[in-house]
Amino acid sequence: MSVKFAGIELKNQIVAASSPLTESLDRIRCCGLAGFGAVILKSAADYVRTGRGHGRKVVFCEGEDGFYADSSFEREILTLSEGLQLYREACRQEDILIIPSVGANSLDAEEWLPICRAFEEAGAPLLQLDFFYLGQIAQEDGFYGKLGGLLRTLKGELSCLVMPKLNPGFAPGKICALLKECGIRQVSLLDSMRETPVPSQGLQEGTTSYFGRRQFPETLRYLREAKRYGLEACAGGGVASREDVRQLLEEGAGVVQVASYVLSKGFASLGDLLDIEKESSGCAEIFRQSPWCGRKIGGEGGCEACGACRGLYCYVPAPVDTSHVELSEEILELSGLLAKNVHEVWAAGRIREGWAYGPVRDDRKKETPCLAPYELLSEAEKQYDRNTALETLKLIQKLGYRIEKE
């Protein structure tokens, strides 16, 4: 299902947004294997890392899929030489479109031009201009006039295409009108919302953003403005289902970019968003990796490396110790009945969700060999249900409750 964006052919309409998914060669390889049609690299800027920045901290929201991420500029932004090296190596290694992303902290064309030129000389046909850090000065007098000056200079001086990335600090109508006026044809949207949870859970106000489905209505608002001005949009921000992808495409997005959904749910979840032809080799292995840092999910040592996916993937089960609890004969009999009922409840739920019996488990077809009468299950399967029942009964007893037959 190839598609053209900015006149360039992409394998499909789903693009990996600039994020931890695209900050290393290894992650980019996973993006390709998982089925993304293109990747936007982690942003790079021309600065010297001082070592005074702080790391990345991620707090997952309760009851929804979103998360808050707090990190400093130095943690999030690659240096120019890191970005260039990543771009060159990714282009050599991957056969999907690699779009560099560049940033600067001012509206000064002298700051932006050399970085853009460096990627242009490295062969990039399309560059994302990361305006995230300009969101803070968007309310200042004369901002849009100065931004227009910068965009006209970049457009005039560069032969590659530039695609500004908008963030919720910009007035959507104003910025889209400006892009059109400056002859810019592509736009990337929408960057995250600066927001700290209450209580803050140790996250810092100035450096924390919210990522998740709550952002989606904002994305739609910006997309509609972009379309009003005839811009070609690489649209995303809060995409969390196939329905969201469909809506963005129906509303005129050229391609859809995604980060937090896959960061929250793993590389395999890309299949939930679009039917894509995946290269089979290597998929099983990458589906077991954390999309944040590449560590094996549930692997030893946790995710100290990225400080992010610890809670999500390095989960170590901690059931209550019931090893000293002894159950009476009567209660042991009850555990057999409970075990069978656990299976009945599970099977009824699965059937309601559209699952059926199949000789091998197939999540896409919703088939499982376990949708069979309890008596026909293998001993190993029955043992799961017996354990659930036994452990529940032991915990009830350990906590001081008593079960009595009338």
Residue type, 292: W
118: left (phi over 0), alpha (psi -120 to 50) or beta: alpha
Contacting residue, 14, 233, 258, 274, with ligand FMN by CB under 6 A: 258
Contact criterion met (CB below 8 Å) for 67 and 86: no
**Smallest distance, ligand FMN to C-beta of residue 373, A:** 43
Site size for ligand FMN (CB under 6 A) = 24
Contacting residue, 6, 20, 220, 309, with ligand FMN by CB under 6 A: 20
Query: Does the protein bind ligand FMN through residue 335 (CB under 6 A)?
Result: no
DSSP sequence for 16-50: EPSSGGGSSHHHHHHHHHHT-SEEEEEEEES----
Residue type, 357: Y
Phi, psi of 359 (to 5 degrees): -65, -30
Tokens representing residue 215 in the block: 């952002």
Piece in contact with ligand FMN (CB under 6 A), picked from 13-21, 243-251, 282-290, 397-405? 13-21
Phi, psi of 357 (to 5 degrees): -70, 140
Sign of the dihedral through C-alpha 197, 52, 102, 58: negative
Query: Does the protein bind ligand FMN through residue 119 (CB under 6 A)?
Result: no
Piece in contact with ligand FMN (CB under 6 A), picked from 117-125, 257-265, 312-320, 382-390? 257-265
Compare residues 210 and 287 and give the one whose CB is closer to ligand FMN. Answer: 210
Query: Does the protein bind ligand FMN through residue 42 (CB under 6 A)?
Result: yes
Query: Does the protein bind ligand FMN through residue 238 (CB under 6 A)?
Result: yes
SS3 call for 7:
coil
Query: Does the protein bind ligand FMN through residue 116 (CB under 6 A)?
Result: no
Compare residues 307 and 358 and give the one whose CB is closer to ligand FMN. Answer: 307
**Smallest distance, ligand FMN to C-beta of residue 89, A:** 18
143: left (phi over 0), alpha (psi -120 to 50) or beta: alpha
Compare residues 263 and 339 and give the one whose CB is closer to ligand FMN. Answer: 263
Query: Does the protein bind ligand FMN through residue 69 (CB under 6 A)?
Result: yes
Please count the other Cβ atoms lying within 10 Å of the Cβ belonging to residue 295.
21
Q: Find the binding residues for ligand FMN in span 198-217 (CB under 6 A).
A: 211, 215
d(CA 358, CA 76): 46
d(CA 245, CA 260): 14
d(CA 110, CA 112): 6
Work out the angle at residue 163's Cα, subtended by the Cα atoms of residues 162 and 168, and round it to the nearest 5 degrees: 145
Q: Find the binding residues for ligand FMN in span 72-111 (CB under 6 A).
A: 76, 101
Query: Does the protein bind ligand FMN through residue 236 (CB under 6 A)?
Result: yes
Q: List 234's β-bridge partners, or say none.
A: 188, 255
Piece in contact with ligand FMN (CB under 6 A), picked from 133-141, 236-244, 311-319, 339-347? 236-244
Piece in contact with ligand FMN (CB under 6 A), picked from 11-19, 27-35, 83-91, 119-127? 11-19
Compare residues 45 and 389 and give the one whose CB is closer to ligand FMN. Answer: 45
Piece in contact with ligand FMN (CB under 6 A), picked from 116-124, 235-243, 265-273, 332-340? 235-243
Residues of this chain that bind ligand FMN (CB under 6 A): 17-20, 42-43, 69, 76, 101, 130, 132, 165, 191-192, 211, 215, 236-239, 258-261
